[in-house]
Structure 1
Amino acid sequence: MSVFASSWNAQGALAQQRREAMLARIAQMRALEERAAQASAKSKPVFDKRGQLLPRERVALLLDAGTPYLPLCSIAGFMQDVKDPAQSVPGGGIVAGIGFVNGVRCMVVASDSGIEAGAIQAMGLEKILRVQDIALQNKLPFLHLVESAGANLMRYRVEGFVHGGALFRNLARLSAAGIPVITVQHGSGTAGGAYMPGLSDVVVMVRNRSRAFLAGPPLLMAATGEVATEEELGGAEMHTTLSGLGEYLAEDDRQALGIAREVVGQLGWTRSATSTGAAPRYDREELLTLIPATLREPIDMREIVARIVDDSDLLDFKPLYGAATVCMQARIEGHAIGIITNNGPIDVAGANKATHFIQLMCQLGHPILYLQNTTGYMVGKESEQGGMIKHGSKMIQAVTNATVPQITIQCGASFGAGNYGMCGRGYAPRFLFSWPSAKTAVMGGEQAARTMQIVTDAALARKGITPDADKARQQFDQIVAVFESQADAFYTSGLLLDDGVIDPRDTRAVLAQCLAMCAEADNKQLHPMQFGVARM
C-alpha cells in the first residue's frame, strides 16, 4: 500500500468556511442531545427525594470508568411528535449505547424515566428494537435498566401496541441465541412492561422501588374488585421471595448496579481486546474542512479516508477504471477493511468495479466500509444504452448478499438508488452513522422541483394553458422546502434511518469500536438453545 499525499489546504479560506459550517451543525446536534438530558434532569429533585439516581447517572455508574462508550440513536424521535424544532425533545425516551461493563462490551439500554415517567414513545420503541438487533448481530450481552410507566395511553395507537410485541420477542431471541439478558428493575413495570423482567435471564430488583405486575391496583379493582397494594402485587420483596421473578434484591440503585456488574463479571464472557494501529498522518480536525455545506462542490473522498485510516496508508483498487467510484484497502486500528466511496455519480464502470471489489472483500473476509457521497447512478442515453440498470443491479446484488460485516457512514449526499448501492439503511449494514452534513433523499430538492415543473408545464401545454409564472415559482419553492427539510441529517436520524449522527472528528474512533465488535462477534462462540431461559 502507499501513504496518501494530501493536496488539500486545510488552512485556506474555503476550508475555513466549510469548517465553520460544520461546527455550526455539530453545535446544533449537541444542543439537541443536551435538550433531552436537561429535560430528564428536571426530575432530579423527585429522584433525590426517592433516593434514586437519574437514568444517565445509572448508565454512567454501570459502565467502566474511562472506557469507550458509543451512544446510539440519540436524536430518535426528533420532530416526530412535535413539529416545532424548538419544542421537540429527541431520544425517544430511551438512553442506549454500547460500552464496557466489568471489562465486557455490552449493549446498555435505560428507560429515561425522568421524561414522562419513562413511558414508551413511538420512536423509542423503534429505538429499542434497533439496538436489540444490534446486540443480536454483534453478540453483545443486553443490559436493560427498566423504569417505565409503559405505553402512554394519551397517545395510544393500536399499531404501536401490536408492533410492541416484537420487543419481547427479541428478548426471547437473544436468550435463545445464548446472549445473556440482564435487567435491573429500578422502578415500575406494568402490563407489557412486566414482561421485560419476565423475559430476562437475570433480574435485579430494588427494595421499595421495583414494581412488576400485569395489572396495578386501579386496574385490578376495576377488573375484579380485588383490593391489593403495589407491594403485594409486584414489589421487589414479593418477587425475590415468593414469585421468583427476581434473583437479587438490592437496597438502592447503586447496589443494584453493582450487582449487575458482578453478574456480568461471572458470565465468563471473553474480555474485549483492543487493536492498535499507527495514527493517520493528518489531523482529524481537518475532517471539518472537507465536506461543502451545499454539497455542490466536488471533493476527493480519499482526503477523508486519509484522515481516518492507519498511517494514512491505502491501496487504491482499479484507480483508473470507473474513477468516480473509489475502492480502497486500508486498516483502522489494525483491522483490515475495504472502503467504497464516491467522487461522483456511479457509472457503468464504477458499478462493475464496486461489484468486483465487494466480492473480493468477501473472499478475503474483510469488513466493508461505505462512505456515502453520491447523487446516485448515472443517467442519460449513453448510460442507459451501456446497461446501467443491469450493472447497477449487480452492485446491489453484491451489497445485499455480502458475507462480511458492512458499515456505512453518510458523509454528504445520499441520493436516489445510490443510497441502495452504497448500503443504505434498507440493506441492513451492521452499523450506519451520519455526519451532520449528510442529506438523504430520492433526489435533490431543486432537481425534484424542476422535474415536477417540467411535468406540470407539459400537462398545461397539452391543454393549451399558459403557466402562471408566480404560481410556478411558489410551487417550486414549496417542493424544494419539503425535500430539503426531510433530507436533513437530524430529521432522518429522528426517524431512526441511522444509528446516530456523529462528529466527523470521531469517525475513526467510532469505526474502531464497530470493527472491534464485528471481530469479537466473529470469534465468539455462543451456545444457542431451542428456547430462551425460562423463569422457574
Structure 2
Amino acid sequence: MDASSAEYAANRDAMLAKLGELEAEHAKVIAGGGEKYVERHRNRGKLLARERVELLLDEDSPFLELSSLAAWGTNYQVGGSLVAGIGWVEGVECMITANDPTVKGGATNPSGLKKALRAAEIAAQNRLPSINLVESGGADLPTQKEIFIPGGRSFRNLTNASAARIPTIALVFGNSTAGGAYLPGMSDYVVMVKERAKVFLGGPPLVKMATGEESDDESLGGAEMHARKSGLADYLAADEHDAIRLGRGIVKRLNWHKLGPEPKPDYEEPRYDAGELAGIVPGDLKVPFDPREVIARVVDGSDFDEFKPLYGPSLVTGWASLHGYPVGILANAQGVLFSEESQKATQFIQLANQSDTPLIFLHNTTGYMVGKEYEQAGIIKHGAMMINAVSNSKVPHISVLMGASYGAGHYGMCGRAYDPRFLFAWPSAKSAVMGPQQLAGVLSIVARAAAAGRGQDYDEEGDKAMRAMVEQQIEAESMPMFLSGMLYDDGIIDPRDTRTVLGLSLSAIHNGPIRGADGFGVFRM
C-alpha cells in the first residue's frame, strides 16, 4: 500500500469524516442526561456513573466499552442509560455495568435492557465475573410492555452465573427498587452505601396503598436496615468511595484464575503503522481492497501464514498471533464468495477446531455468487457447508465488519446471529440483505413483471420514485450507527484501534477454556 498516494489520502479523509461523526455521537453518550441533571446529581454529593467505573478499575488499566451507541436513532438517550464494558479490577477482567442516574433516574428502557442482556451474555460466554454499579428507579414504566417480560431474563442470568461459579457483585449507590431489588437479591456479594441505598419491592406510597402501613425509606429498605436486620447487604459502606473500595476487596479475594492458555510473552508489534488503517477502506465500498494490508497492521510481527493462497482467492485465510494469542483469520478480499472460497473456509474452520485456535472474521463481502453457472456448480450446497462449519464451530469467534457485509455472506462470515463472542464494526461498514441499488432493482423487476402479468402499463415515474425511496431507506438502515443502535454489534471502533480491541477481546475470551468442536453437521457434498 502506498500511503503517499491520492487514493490513500481520499480513503483516509473519508474515514476521518466518519470518525468525526462517531465522536459527536459518543459525546452525547458521555453527556448523559444533560448539564441540568448532571449538576443536580453532583449537588447531591454523588459520583457520575463513569466516575464510579473509573475509580473501580485498576489505575491506568484499559476499559473496553461495549454497545456505547445503544438506542441511537430511537427516542431514548444514546447509550441506553447504562455504561457497560470489560475492565480490570484487582487484576481480574470483569464485566462492569453502571446505571446512569442522570438519565431518568437510571430507569431501564428497552434499549438499556438489550444492552444489559448482551453484557450478561458476553460475561457468561467468556466466564467474566460481573460487577453491577446500581442506581436505578427500575423499569421506565411507559415502556413496560417492552421491558417486563424479557427483563426477567436479567435475574435468571445472575442465578445462572452463580450456579456456573462465575461471581456476581452488586454495589448499590442509590435506588434499586421494585423488580430492580432482585438484582442485589440475586447477586453473590452485595455492598450498600449508608443513607443512600434504597432497596425494596414496594416504596412507602405503594406499601400504604397495598397494606395501609405507614413507613419510611430507611426502615423499609435502607442500607443500614439491610445490613443489620434483613441481611440483604453483606457490606455497609460509609460512602461511595468506600463502596468501591469494598467492591475491589471482594474481587481481590475471589481467588480467580483464567482457564484458557496464557499468551506468549515475547510477541512483536506489527511492522507496519496502525495509523495507516484509516486509509485502507475506500469511501465507495464497490471498490475492492486487499485485507492483507489490514492483517499486516494488526497481527504480531506482521507475520501471517496464508492457507491455500492460490485457491479461492476472494477469501484470505491463514494463521497468525495477536498479542501473543494464536488465531486463525478469514478475510474477504474481492467481496464475492464463490464455491471455492466456501469450501476453503469450511476446511480452514475445521482445522482451527482441531487445533483449538480462535477465529477472527474480517468482513467485506457482497454475499455468495448468483447466476446459472454458479447454481449449477453447487453454490448453495457449498455456501451451506461454510455456514454449517461456522454454526457448529466451538472455538471462539470474533467478527469485525470493515466494509460490506451483505446477504448470506454475513452469515457465513459469522454475523451476529451466529454468536461470535464479540462483533465490532468500522465506521465504513454496511450490512443488509443486499445493497440498496440491488434491492430496489429487484423490487422494480418484480413489480414490472406483476404489471405485465395483469396486462397493465407500468408506471415508470412511480417506479423511479419507488426505487429512490427504497434505496434511501436501505442505505440508512445499512449504516453502522443504525445497526449499533439496535445492538447488532458490540461497538463501532476506530480502525486504528483494531489491534487493541482484538487483544482485549482475546484476553477476555481466555478466561474460559478454548476447545474446538468434536463434530459437525452433515456436509452436503
TM-score (norm 1): 0.93
Q: Are 1:54 and 2:48 an aligned pair?
A: yes
1:262 aligns with 2:262: no
CA shift digits 1:184-235 (9 cap, x unpaired):
0000011110000000111000011100000001111111111100111100
Partner residue, 1:75: 69
Q: RMSD over aligned Cα, in angstroms?
A: 1.5
Answer yes or no: is 1:460 the counterpart of 2:451.
yes
1:79-118 matched pairs, under 5 angstroms: 79-80=73-74, 82=75, 89-118=77-106
Deviation by residue 1:455-498 (Cα, 9 ceiling, x = unmatched): 11111122333323222111100000111111000000100001
Q: Bigger shift: 457-466 or 427-436?
A: 457-466
| Kept in 2: contact 1:276–1:333 (CA 8 A) | no
SS of residue paired to 2:162: helix
Number of the residue aligned with 1:44: 38
CA contact (8 A) 2:32 2:100 kept: no
Go from structure 1 to structure 2 and tell me whether the alpha carbon gap of 1:456 and 1:110 turns closer, same or farther (over 3 Å shift): same
Q: CA deviation at 1:425?
A: 0.3
| Residue type at the aligned position of 2:428 | S
Partner of 2:288: 298
2:213 to 207, 211, 226: 226
| 2:6 pairs with 1:18 | no
What residue number does 1:191 align with? 178
Secondary structure in 1 matching 2:337: coil
The yes-or-no answer on 1:440 pairing with 2:434 is no
1:507-532 deviation per Cα after TM superposition (whole angstroms, max 9, x unaligned): 000111111222232289xxxxxxxx
Q: Does 1:389 align with 2:389?
A: no
Deviation, 1:334, is: 1.4
Amino acid at match of 1:11: S
Percent identity reads: 47
Whole-angstrom CA distance in 2 between matches of 1:377 and 1:408: 18
Question: Does the aligned pair in 1 maintain the 2:425–2:493 contact within 8 Å?
Answer: yes
**SS of corresponding position for 1:263:** helix
Query: CA distance change for structure 1 residues 292 and 523 in 2, over 3 Å: closer, same or farther?
Result: closer
Relative distance call for 1:91 and 1:453 in structure 2 (3 A) is same
Aligned residue number for residue 471 of structure 2: 480
Provide the rounded CA distance (Å) in 2 between the counterparts of 1:94 and 1:204: 19
AA aligned to 2:254 is: L
The separation in 1 between residues aligned to 2:410 and 2:7, in whole angstroms, is 28
What 5-or-longer segments of structure 1 have no aligned partner?
A: 1-7, 83-87, 525-536
**2:522 maps to what in 1?**
none
Instruction: Output one character per residue of 1:80-119: Cα deviation in whole Å (capped at 9) or x when no partner.
Output: 2x3xxxxx63111110000101111111100011111000
Aligned: 1:309 with 2:302 = no
Shift of residue 33 of structure 1? 1.5
Say whether residues 1:289 and 2:283 are aligned partners.
no
Q: In structure 1, which of residues 408, 411, 425 is the aligned counterpart of residue 402 of structure 2?
A: 411
Give, in angstroms, the shift of residue 283 of structure 1.
Answer: 0.8
> Which residue of the partner structure matches residue 107 of structure 2?
119
Code of the aligned partner of 1:251: A
The corresponding residue for 2:523 is none
Residues 523 and 372 from structure 1, CA distance in 2 versus in 1: closer, same or farther, beyond 3 angstroms?
closer
Q: Which residue identity does 1:113 align to in structure 2? A: P
Distance in 2 (alpha carbons) for counterparts of 1:68 and 1:256: 21
TM-score, length basis structure 2: 0.95
Please state whether the residue corresponding to 2:80 is helix, strand or coil.
coil
In structure 1, distance between residues paired with 2:247 and 2:64: 20
SS of corresponding position for 2:304: strand
Partner AA of 2:18 in structure 1: R
Match of 2:140 in 1: 152
User: Is the CA contact (8 Å cut-off) linking 1:52 and 1:252 kept in structure 2?
Assistant: no
User: Aligned AA for 1:39?
Assistant: G
Q: How many residues align?
A: 510
CA displacement at 1:276 relative to structure 2: 5.0
Change (3 A) 1:311 1:59: same
Contact 1:104 1:271 in 2 (8 A): no
Which secondary structure does the structure 1 equivalent of 2:317 belong to? strand
* Partners of 1:75 and 1:257 in 2: CA distance: 26
Q: Secondary structure at the match of 1:432?
A: strand
Aligned pair 1:250/2:250, yes or no? no
Give, as a single letter, the amino acid of the residue that structure 1 aligns with 2:313.
A
Equivalent of 1:64, from 52, 58, 63? 58
Once the two structures are superposed, what CA deviation does each residue of 1:417-473 show, in whole Å capped at 9, x if it has no partner? 001000000000111111111101000000000111111111112233332322211
Q: Are the equivalent residues in 2 in contact too, given 1:32–1:89 (CA < 8 A)?
A: no
Distance in 1, Cα, partners of 2:70 & 2:245: 29
1:330 matched to 2:320: yes
What is the aligned partner in structure 1 of residue 369 from structure 2? 378
Larger deviation: 272-281 or 289-298? Answer: 272-281
CA distance in 2, matches of 1:226, 1:402: 58
Q: The residue matched to 2:61 in structure 1 has which SS?
A: coil
Using a 3 Å threshold, how does the CA distance of structure 1 residues 376 and 462 change in structure 2: closer, same or farther? same
Mean alpha-carbon deviation: is it higher for 373-382 or for 88-97?
88-97
Q: Provide the rounded CA distance (Å) in 1 between the counterparts of 2:165 and 2:144.
A: 34
Q: Is contact 2:426-2:492 (8 Å) kept?
A: yes
